[in-house]
Amino acid sequence: MTSETVTLADSDPAEFAIFKAELQDAFAVAVVDEFGNQPDEPIPSDEVLDAAVTAPGAVVLRIVCDGRKVGGAVVTIDPVTHRNSLDLFFLKIGEEGRGLGLKAWRAIEERFPETIAWQTHTPYFEKRNIHFYVNKCGFRIIEFFNRYHPDPNHPGAQDDLPGDGDAFQFEKIMRTAGSEP
């Protein structure tokens, strides 16, 4: 892990186009690694990204390292249940592999201390993400979505993923309901 300082900043809506392009570029790397070719369409699609950044409770964050924007995240915060979701998370190409992602995740946890549980998801082929969420961040796999068991909360989500669209859902329990953050 590096000694670089990682912080979070609210993303400027005027920069959402840059944010989306950087995210799509980062996600494309995994597709090329797994399938050997550049996806025909951006992944996630512009429509999926637009819906994520404008969803009720969505907070769009920039991951900043020593003053440089190195990635981003979209979280959805539920102020009533405190069961929140990490909808999108990325480091820009060339910024991975130095511990910045883990520092960014810890900064997200610190920013939302009232969280009871976090949920997130990733495509089955994204072994780096699975390793990151389970082995580094402490999530556990709670569900496997596939053609026999589609995600009821995101109908058609499999259509936006390359391959057969299979994906894992993860959860991290931060505290029990009623306990102090």
Instruction: Give the CA count within 13 Å in the CB-facing half-sphere of 70.
Output: 22
Residue 29: strand, helix, or coil: helix
Domain edges within the chain = 6-173
What is the number of other CB atoms lying within 10 angstroms of the CB of residue 115?
Answer: 21
Kind and range of the H or E run holding 61: strand 58-65
For residue 69, give both structure tokens. Answer: 């924007």
Which has the closest alpha carbon to 42: 153, 161, 155, 122?
161
Q: What's the whole-number mean pLDDT along residues 132-151?
A: 92
66, pLDDT greater than 80: yes
Confidence of residue 151 (pLDDT cuts 50, 70, 90): confident
* pLDDT tens-digit map of 9-57: 999 999 999 999 999 999 888 888 777 777 778 888 899 899 999 999 9
pLDDT of residue 8: 98
* CATH top-level class of 6-173: alpha beta
pLDDT at residue 159 is higher than 60: no
HSE-CB for 136 with a 13 A CA cutoff: 18
Q: What is the DSSP string of 100-151?
A: HHHHHHHHHHHH-TT-SEEEEEEETT-HHHHHIIIIIT--EEEEEEBTTB--
